[in-house]
């Protein structure tokens, strides 16, 4: 009886093991994230050819659905440009890689500082957009206006632009 039970248990174990080994997991663990899923103190770094292009830190990332992640306590660094952006939070779309940043945004380099209430990063166009008031302050200038369109090469304030040079 013991031998029969042992043979049955061995066959059962081998069958279950064989079943799991035959499954295609695609080399990646499948994680289902959705309502009530979150991560605290996250850090994401993107490198290209061993050089850090940007690093994102957030105090909290809450998964709203399969494509949208709400970020709180946001800090994004662009080491090559010497730019650090901080804000209260943002909304990141995993599918199209767009990022809406909101709440007391401050982006600074050694030469200037940008302040805004909301910015939108369009990943497909590689463009930063805002319809709100934006203020740029440098060592000897201050510019503010409504609406911003910025690309890799240039930035444009769209309307109601006011500038002061040589003063504060």
Q: pLDDT for 109-143, tens place per residue?
A: 888 888 999 999 888 888 888 999 999 898 899 99
Contact call for residues 77 and 83 (beta carbons, < 8 A): yes
CA–CA separation, 87 and 75 (whole Å): 7
The rounded percent of the chain whose pLDDT value lies above 70 is 77
Residue 45, pLDDT above cutoff 60: yes
Paired tokens of 66 = 């399969």
Question: Which pairing describes strands 51-63 and 37-48: parallel, antiparallel, or unpaired?
Answer: antiparallel
**Sorting pLDDT into bands at 50, 70 and 90, what band is 96?**
confident
Lowest pLDDT segment from 19-23, 88-92, 151-155: 19-23
Residue 91, pLDDT above cutoff 50: yes
Q: pLDDT for 97-112, tens place per residue?
A: 888 999 999 988 888 8
What residue ranges define each of the domains in the chain, with the CATH number in brackets? 35-165 (2.60.450.10)
Q: pLDDT for 8-36, tens place per residue?
A: 554 455 545 555 555 555 555 455 555 67
The DSSP secondary structure of the chain, one letter per residue, reads -HHHHHHHHHHHHHHHHHHHHHS--TTS------TTEEEEEEEEEEEETTEEEEEEEEEEEEE-SSSEEEEEEEEEEETTTTEEEEEEEEEEETTT--EEEEEEEEEE-SSEEEEEEEEEEETTTTEEEEEEEEEEEESSEEEEEEEEEE-SS-EEEEEEEEEEES--
67-75 mean pLDDT: 92
CA–CA separation, 110 and 116 (whole Å): 18
Question: Which is more confidently placed, 53 or 71?
Answer: 71
Residue 52, pLDDT above cutoff 80: yes
Paired tokens of 32 = 């289902």
Residue 79, pLDDT above cutoff 80: yes
- In this prediction, residue 8 carries a pLDDT of 52
Q: What is the mean pLDDT of the chain?
A: 80
Contact call for residues 87 and 74 (beta carbons, < 8 A): yes
């Amino acid at each position: 009886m013991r031998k029969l039970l042992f043979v049955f248990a061995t066959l059962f174990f081998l069958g279950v093991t064989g079943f799991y080994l035959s499954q295609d997991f695609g080399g990646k663990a499948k994680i289902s994230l959705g309502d009530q899923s979150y991560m605290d103190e996250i850090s994401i770094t993107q490198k290209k050819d061993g050089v850090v292009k940007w690093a994102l830190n957030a105090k909290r990332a809450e998964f709203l659905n399969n494509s949208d992640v709400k970020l709180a306590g946001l800090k994004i660094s662009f080491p090559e440009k010497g730019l650090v952006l901080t804000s209260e939070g943002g909304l990141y779309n995993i599918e199209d890689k767009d990022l809406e940043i909101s709440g007391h945004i401050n982006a600074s380099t050694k030469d200037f500082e940008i302040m805004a209430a909301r910015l939108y990063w369009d990943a497909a166009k590689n463009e930063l957009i805002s319809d709100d008031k934006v203020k740029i302050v440098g060592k000897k200038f201050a510019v503010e206006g409504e609406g911003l369109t910025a690309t890799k090469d240039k930035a444009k304030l769209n309307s109601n632009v006011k500038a002061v040079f040589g003063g504060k």
